[in-house]
Amino acid sequence: MMKPPRIEGVEVISPLRLRIAWSTGEFLDVDLSEPIVHLQALAPLRDPILFAGVQIGEWGHSLVWNDEVDLGADRLYERSKEQAGEVTPSQFDAWMRSHQLSLTTAAEALGISRRMVAHYRTGSRPIPRIVHLACKGWEVQHAGRA
């Protein structure tokens, strides 16, 4: 993801879960229990009082807690999209690479413009579910041709 969306708002919805408002207009929930439980650097966030003190970092590029812990917007956005069952820009890029598709050939394969493929690949626009389904359909049609 070259230019991740910025965080415009954050709300604690339950212990270790946040609802984040993104500059894309999306409101996405993210469950941070797995990294908080398993990563020692995030151990302070196990304290519910500290976790509830989340704030938006400078320019909306992170979430910060008490100047002790911060999490970058790029990974938070990807994690929230993954948890919502949506394809992320890095997954879309991996799909293109695994099938050796350029911007032009991916656009032709999906029936969309080259510019939109570039937006989806960099994360500057959210990837619609229908595009994800088109990627899966393309894979099925081209299975065994490699």
State the pLDDT at residue 13: 96
- Does residue 1 have a pLDDT over 60? no
Residue-averaged pLDDT of the chain:
91
Residues 61-90: pLDDT tens digits? 999 998 789 999 988 988 998 898 888 888
State the pLDDT at residue 135: 93
Q: What is the share, in percent, of the chain residues with pLDDT greater than 90?
A: 72
State the pLDDT at residue 3: 63
Alpha carbon distance 22, 139 (integer Å): 31
Pick the CATH number of 89-141 from 1.20.120.10, 1.10.150.20, 3.40.250.10, 1.10.260.40: 1.10.260.40
Listed by start position, the domains of the chain span 7-83, 89-141
Please, what CATH class does the domain formed by 7-83 belong to? Answer: alpha beta
Under 8 Å CB-to-CB from 99, ≥6 apart: which residues?
A: 138, 139, 142
- The residue with greater pLDDT, 38 or 90, is 38
Backbone phi, psi, residue 32, to 5°: -100, 10
Q: What is the DSSP string of 95-131?
A: HHHHTT--HHHHHHHHTS-HHHHHHHHHTSS---HHH
State the pLDDT at residue 110: 95
- Does residue 107 have a pLDDT over 50? yes
